[in-house]
Chain A
Amino acid sequence: MYVNFKGKFILLIAIICLFSCRSVNYLSSIEASKQSLNAELETGEDATINAMIQPYKIKLDEQMNQVIGETSTDLKKKRPESTLGNWMADAIQRQTEKQLGKPIAFAIQNYGGIRIPQIKKGKITRGMIYELMPFDNMIVILSLNSAEVQELMQHIITGGGWPVSRGIKVTQSDAKTLDIQINGVALEKGKLYQVALPDYVANGGSDAGFLRGKPQQALSLFIRDVLIADVEAHTANQQVIESKIEGRIVLTKN
């Protein structure tokens, strides 16, 4: 009886110790901060890392620093319409038409696919276009009827406005209604419009799931290569890239 009680007592102590004699780590405080990695960083650059980069950098620089053309104005990325976006969409339309040997209605480029904020006025290098369009997206053509063009433009407006080419003008008269003109003519029922766009979007990317499954005519053209070709074509013709805001997409104020 007594022994039994003693045994229980020891067990009790052991159980208490299991919970309270154990050292506990309390999260007592947190400090969050961040440091800018700029040229003034006092630790400078790590030599080992630079040595690792060097052989790759040499290979890249040879191609990427090559000047392929020039722009007469700052090409800036903006919504709903921008100098950078207008040139890109026009270049996609021009190079698509060149490949096809016939005109198309218009071209679009998803806004999120533009990966640098601007190309400054002046020289354009191959590397700039790679940074502008790093993705291996290719051009596809969709044949869309007027309702499908409406739906696509509504998606583009909902996204705040994406680059569209010179052929199309979209005016938002109120939250629900879009006035769409293609080459100066309102959309016509029963007509099919050939639209060039990134395969990424045609396959449902940028939340364009409504385009998925539509028959695609695939051009084996990387958008990046098309942009490079467009700059080089300007240069070959002793021209520079020129781009301005033209009212291709006009949103209502509210």
Chain B
Amino acid sequence: MKRRTFIRKAGTATLMSSVGTFPLSAFAKDDLIKLTVLHTNDVHSRIEPFPMDGSRNEGLGGAARRASLIKKIRAAEENLLLLDAGDIFQGTPYFNFFLGELEFKLMSEMKYDAATLGNHDFDGGMEGLYKQLPLANFPFLVSNYDFSDTLMNGKTKPYKIFKKDGLKIGVLGVGIELEGMVPEKHYKGTRYLDPIAAANKYALELKKAQKCDLVICLSHLGYRYRNNKVSDVVLAENSRNIDVIIGGHTHTFMKKAAAYRNLDQAEVIINQVGWAGMLLGRMDFYFERNKKGKCMTCGNTLIK
């Protein structure tokens, strides 16, 4: 019942031909379900595009452009999830003066489905984050911050399950170690749990007990590091039951999504789209619904 694995190690992941497999187009429409996942990370209060000051990023990004593109894609796609991998706050005077209020309002207007927390989302302290939460019409998913002894207790969830056209999609979140990165007074009382253990625990729950068709991990761990620090790559390789990691923190502009093998030798796709909302990431998942006990179209994995 396990889906076949087709992409090789990152770097060699490339256009896979559909030779030997059933082309998607040969399938009846009713038997294929498409899910579109749009994603951002490290938007860092970039409400307006970068100023036209001759710098590298001038004119890029902006919430109004992102929203217009999202609207167009929503009009075309029936099953859509819009996700963010954290560091929504901090980076422009919009945060210094309005403390994250506008960021959450705009994301709610764009109908984000979920976000995880980044280290900079603590920059106004937990009180600052807590105050803005009523403006966010979407849940914050993080499985490895234990907020029990803080005012954030009960304000986040480890995961959420979304149902789309007969599909069950489990989304969970993991955050980076705050010590040494965030002033202590801003996260005091938060217990940091091992992100790999937490992610695996909830991914197992989602895949096996809840029978999710797809498990997505929103991560603010960072794509990868030169040392052994836990990252999306380390998580992917030490995980089970996670299909996709949507990452952040390292502001990595990936040429294309990468694929790594997990502990079961199944592939985990990692994607991250730089920072500041200069890009909108998109992943289209095709599911084959059948009763034959054998997947006919599997093997068309295409990362571009």
- Residues on A close to B: CB < 8 A? 20-39, 41, 43-50, 52-53, 56-57, 59-60, 63-64, 115-118, 120, 127-128, 130-131, 134-136, 199-200, 203-209
Evaluate whether A127 and B51 lie within 8 angstroms (CB atoms) in the complex, with A29-B24, A30-B303, A205-B180 already known: yes
Whether A49 and B67, one on each chain, are in contact in the complex, defined by CB atoms closer than 8 angstroms, is yes
Residue B102 at the A interface, CB < 8 A?
Answer: yes
Whether A30 and B55, one on each chain, are in contact in the complex, defined by CB atoms closer than 8 angstroms, is no
Evaluate whether A49 and B183 lie within 8 angstroms (CB atoms) in the complex, with A29-B24, A34-B280, A43-B68 already known: no
| Complexed CA–CA distance, A206 and B284 (Å) | 37
Number of interface residues of B (CB under 8 A): 85
Q: A23-B289, A28-B298, A127-B51 are in contact. List 20 more A-B contacts (CB 8 A).
A: A25-B166, A27-B213, A27-B286, A29-B286, A29-B298, A30-B284, A30-B302, A33-B283, A36-B278, A41-B65, A43-B72, A44-B65, A45-B67, A53-B48, A59-B97, A60-B93, A63-B93, A120-B54, A128-B53, A134-B93
Whether A36 and B279, one on each chain, are in contact in the complex, defined by CB atoms closer than 8 angstroms, is yes
Residue B56 at the A interface, CB < 8 A?
Answer: yes
The majority secondary structure among interface residues of chain A is mixed
Inter-chain contacts of B59 with A (CB < 8 A): 38-39
Whether B288 and A52, one on each chain, are in contact in the complex, defined by CB atoms closer than 8 angstroms, is no
Residue B291 at the A interface, CB < 8 A?
Answer: yes
Name the CB-closest residue of B to A19: B293
Which of A23, A45, A207 contacts B64, CB < 8 Å?
Answer: A45
Whether A33 and B304, one on each chain, are in contact in the complex, defined by CB atoms closer than 8 angstroms, is yes
Whether A35 and B91, one on each chain, are in contact in the complex, defined by CB atoms closer than 8 angstroms, is no
Inter-chain contacts of B149 with A (CB < 8 A): none
Question: In whole Å, how far is B151's beta carbon from the nearest beta carbon of chain A?
Answer: 20
- Residues on B close to A: CB < 8 A? 1, 3, 24, 32-33, 45, 47-49, 51, 53-57, 59-69, 71-72, 90-98, 102, 105-106, 109-110, 123, 166-167, 179-184, 213-214, 243-244, 256-257, 269, 271, 273, 277-291, 293, 295, 297-304
Inter-chain contacts of A203 with B (CB < 8 A): 183-184
| Complexed CA–CA distance, A18 and B118 (Å) | 43
Evaluate whether A41 and B68 lie within 8 angstroms (CB atoms) in the complex, with A60-B93, A207-B180 already known: yes
Inter-chain contacts of A43 with B (CB < 8 A): 65, 68-69, 71-72
Inter-chain contacts of B65 with A (CB < 8 A): 37-38, 41, 43-46
Which of B24, B48, B284 contacts A57, CB < 8 Å?
Answer: B48
Name the CB-closest residue of A to B22: A28
Question: In whole Å, how far is A16's beta carbon from the nearest beta carbon of chain B?
Answer: 11
Evaluate whether A37 and B166 lie within 8 angstroms (CB atoms) in the complex, with A49-B67, A207-B180 already known: no
Whether A117 and B92, one on each chain, are in contact in the complex, defined by CB atoms closer than 8 angstroms, is no
Whether B91 and A53, one on each chain, are in contact in the complex, defined by CB atoms closer than 8 angstroms, is no
Question: In whole Å, how far is B69's beta carbon from the nearest beta carbon of chain A?
Answer: 5
Whether A31 and B304, one on each chain, are in contact in the complex, defined by CB atoms closer than 8 angstroms, is yes
Which of A23, A28, A130 contacts B286, CB < 8 Å?
Answer: A28
Inter-chain contacts of A117 with B (CB < 8 A): 55-57
Whether B3 and A26, one on each chain, are in contact in the complex, defined by CB atoms closer than 8 angstroms, is yes
Whether A205 and B183, one on each chain, are in contact in the complex, defined by CB atoms closer than 8 angstroms, is yes
Evaluate whether A50 and B64 lie within 8 angstroms (CB atoms) in the complex, with A31-B304, A35-B280 already known: yes
15 contacts between A and B (CB under 8 A): A26-B3, A29-B302, A32-B257, A32-B283, A34-B273, A36-B278, A38-B60, A41-B65, A41-B68, A53-B106, A56-B94, A120-B53, A131-B93, A134-B91, A206-B180
Whether A32 and B109, one on each chain, are in contact in the complex, defined by CB atoms closer than 8 angstroms, is no
Whether B63 and A32, one on each chain, are in contact in the complex, defined by CB atoms closer than 8 angstroms, is no
Please provide the 4 A-B residue pairs with the shortest distance between their CB atoms, ordered closest to farther. Answer: A29-B300, A45-B64, A46-B67, A32-B257
Pick from A28, A134, A206 the residue with the most CB of B within 10 Å: A28
Inter-chain contacts of B32 with A (CB < 8 A): 28
Whether B64 and A27, one on each chain, are in contact in the complex, defined by CB atoms closer than 8 angstroms, is no
Which of B282, B291, B300 contacts A32, CB < 8 Å?
Answer: B282
Question: In whole Å, how far is A128's beta carbon from the nearest beta carbon of chain B?
Answer: 8
Whether A60 and B213, one on each chain, are in contact in the complex, defined by CB atoms closer than 8 angstroms, is no
Inter-chain contacts of A64 with B (CB < 8 A): 93
Whether A25 and B289, one on each chain, are in contact in the complex, defined by CB atoms closer than 8 angstroms, is yes
| Complexed CA–CA distance, A117 and B275 (Å) | 14
Question: In whole Å, how far is A174's beta carbon from the nearest beta carbon of chain B?
Answer: 21
Whether A130 and B93, one on each chain, are in contact in the complex, defined by CB atoms closer than 8 angstroms, is yes
| Complexed CA–CA distance, A53 and B118 (Å) | 23
Evaluate whether A21 and B291 lie within 8 angstroms (CB atoms) in the complex, with A41-B69, A43-B68, A53-B64 already known: yes
Whether B68 and A44, one on each chain, are in contact in the complex, defined by CB atoms closer than 8 angstroms, is yes
Pick from A43, A63, A136 the residue with the most CB of B within 10 Å: A43
Inter-chain contacts of A57 with B (CB < 8 A): 47-48
| Complexed CA–CA distance, A30 and B304 (Å) | 10
Inter-chain contacts of A134 with B (CB < 8 A): 45, 90-93, 95-96
Inter-chain contacts of B280 with A (CB < 8 A): 34-35, 37
| Complexed CA–CA distance, A130 and B48 (Å) | 14
Question: In whole Å, how far is B106's beta carbon from the nearest beta carbon of chain A?
Answer: 6
Whether A23 and B291, one on each chain, are in contact in the complex, defined by CB atoms closer than 8 angstroms, is yes
Inter-chain contacts of B293 with A (CB < 8 A): 20, 24
